Amino acid sequence: GRESRHNLTYWQNGTFLGVGPGAHSYLAGSRFHNLRSPREYIRRMDSAGPARAGAAVDTRMLEEMPAVEFVETIERPMEMTETMMMGLRLNDGVANADFRARFGVDIAQAFPRAVADCLDDRLLEQRQRQLVQAHFLQDLRARQRQALLLTTRELGGITFN
């Protein structure tokens, strides 16, 4: 398949805003989702007053929004961890310069023992100032996707969420 540019926002742990019933968002250091029920979502939005123009988005504001069901504050250590976890799923991995620009620290400074151990165990590789999964892990991922595709075809195109 081809690379999905839309999904890169998620894999790079970027911010996104979901709109409507059941939509999920990651914005201003918070992960949140709206009510799942379209009927209840519409009812609450209809009964809400006008939005505050120019208000800064923070956890408290999100919790006060009528259709938001759940808000989770993502602290910096979790954001750094999720950035690595998601980014290492990409073929290009995580660029140290991007990580440093976002967090003010190099990857190896943020995760010294994990990076050293994974490099020593050849689970990660350093390529052109980027930390990436080792080739054998990328090959394993490709084989897993192929097996899942074959299984799905054998089941008559049934997919599972």
Q: Which of 3-7, 25-29, 113-117 has the lowest mean pLDDT?
A: 3-7
What is the tens place of the pLDDT at every residue in 35-59?
999 999 999 988 887 776 777 778 8
What is the tens place of the pLDDT at every residue in 131-140?
887 776 667 6
CA distance 115 to 89: 15
3-class SS at 74? coil
Query: Confidence band (pLDDT; 50, 70, 90) for 7?
Result: confident
Residue 94 token pair: 């995580």
Ramachandran angles phi, psi of 141, nearest 5°: -60, -45
Are the C-beta atoms of 114 and 123 separated by less than 8 Å? no
Ramachandran angles phi, psi of 80, nearest 5°: -65, -45
CA distance 14 to 85: 13
CA distance 146 to 144: 5
Average pLDDT, the chain: 85
Residue 1 token pair: 């398949």
Count of Cβ atoms closer than 10 Å to residue 55 Cβ: 8
Residue 126 pLDDT > 50:
yes
pLDDT at 152: 62
Residue 75 token pair: 């602290």
pLDDT at 135: 73
What is the tens place of the pLDDT at every residue in 44-99?
988 887 776 777 778 888 888 899 999 999 999 999 999 999 998 888 899 999 99
Residue 29 token pair: 């250091």
Q: Measuring CA to CA, which residue among 94, 128, 98 is closest to residue 114?
A: 94
Residue 1 pLDDT > 90:
no
CA distance 7 to 19: 17
pLDDT at 113: 92
Q: Which position has the token pair 């190099």?
A: 106
- Tally of CA atoms within 13 A in the half-sphere of 89 that contains its CB: 14
